[in-house]
Amino acid sequence: MLRKKKFSYYFAHMLVMSTVNKVRLVLTSIGIFVAVFLFSVGVIIANSYYNGKLRIIDDMSNNSVIISSNMPAKRIKEVASKYTSIIPIEDLVLSQEKPILSAEVSKNQYLNVMARVHGVSGSEELLPIINEDGLFLPIKPMLIEGRYFGKEELSMNAPAAIVDEFTAKLLFPDGDCLGKQFEIDSGISGSTTAKDNDEERRSPIRFTIVGIIKNSYISESKKLRLKKDIVNSANTIFVNTNIYCPLSTFSQFFPQEESETKILYYFDEENECQDFVTRMMALSDISRKEGEVLIITTKDMLLNNCMEQLLYTKTLLNIIIIILCIISGISIMSITFFSVKERIE
């Protein structure tokens, strides 16, 4: 009880002494303003970072499933066929990005565009994207212009490609890109290594654009970042994107390249998707004991994993905000010290 009275007394006395004259009132106001400002800005930055990371995963289709394994793709599909009759999409993606464009934006400023090349067995239900952090997300594509891959293109090694709006605009700024060709693995101009070894480089691979899909959130973010980089006058600007070709074409053009296989499933019904995931997760546990790796990933799993990782980052940011607020309150603490000192004297 005595402690509460002392606290009330000191607090009331601090308020009185903080406003006893204009100088102390100004110092108090500045301290409170700075503390509130830092806290508000800190919370906005922390929430923006947190929500931005989660927003990336939101583009992933709700009823989609990603299967990764050290087993051959054919065997994975045979095993999964016991639990669903849905035909999956096989995605074969290059481990290393390939150059698709090098251009001079302005004097002494160059733009180099690198692409993750995906070979897919289908294009209408799901198309995968990979961001800078290596996060793999299958999304439901929305066709803007052109068409998806036809059956003949998927089976006859056709050099056809599907790109998003952002990539299309980079390759052909005039906006007319359907039916036009672009080169992959053609080297980067402005690079000493590329020039010196020009004769040793492999011949560029030409693809014809047959379809353009709507930008994902990741592509929109890259678009905004590119505009900032150009304004900030960076000497060399690198942009990463994703392009898609038929699986048969991929196997023909990149037979010796290191790649990774993903098997993608898309379900119309949520219950069917959950049942499939439950069965495959049980199979994954059994396979692990036998030395085989079978990784099942869904949107909910990615969100939960991301929130768990971001929790530590958000906690750290909040601690920094609190420390800054305490530091900004030095003026108020000084006022408190002098007011107590005056009371004693």
Per-residue DSSP letters for 287-319?
Answer: HHHTT--EEEEEHHHHHHHHHHHHHHHHHHHHH
Containing domain of residue 315, as a range?
2-53+310-344
Q: What is the pLDDT of residues 12-49, one digit of tens each?
A: 766 676 666 677 777 777 777 777 777 787 778 777 87
Residue 281: inside a domain, yes or no? no
In a domain, 253, yes or no: yes
- Secondary structure letter of residue 60 according to DSSP: B
Mark whether 123 and 185 lie in a shared domain: yes
Mean pLDDT of 224-240: 84
Among 100, 98, 111, 70, which Cα is nearest to 262's?
70
Give the model's pLDDT for residue 345: 47
Residues 97 and 214 placed together within one structural domain of the fold: yes
pLDDT, tens digit (0-9, with 9 covering 90-100), for 299-344: 999 999 888 887 887 787 778 777 776 766 655 555 555 554 454 4
Domain termination site, one of 236, 266, 296: 266
pLDDT in the model for residue 189: 40
43, 180: one domain: no
154 in a structural domain: yes
Query: What is the number of structural domains in the chain?
Result: 2
60-82 pLDDT, tens digit per residue, is: 888 899 998 888 888 889 889 98
Do 165 and 256 have their domain in common?
yes
Contact criterion met (CB below 8 Å) for 134 and 242: no
Q: What is the DSSP track for 137-176?
A: EEE---EEEE----HHHHHTT--EEEEEHHHHHHH-TTS-
- Tell me the pLDDT of the chain averaged across its residues: 81
- 135 conformational bin, left if phi > 0, alpha if psi -120 to 50, beta if neither: beta
Residues 129 and 228 placed together within one structural domain of the fold? yes
> 321 and 217 in one domain?
no
Same-domain status, 162 and 255: yes
| 3-state class (DSSP) for residue 265 | strand
**What residues pair up with 262 in beta bridges, in sequence order?**
91
pLDDT value of residue 10: 66
Please, are residues 93 and 236 in contact by the beta-carbon 8 Å criterion? no
Does residue 323 share a domain with residue 261? no
Indicate if 235 and 340 belong to the same structural domain.
Answer: no
Whether residue 258 sits in one domain with residue 112: yes
- pTM of structure: 0.77
Q: Give the domain-ending residue among 250, 266, 282.
A: 266
- Are residue 47 and residue 163 in the same domain, yes or no? no
Whether residue 299 lies inside any domain: the answer is no
Same domain, 113 and 249: yes
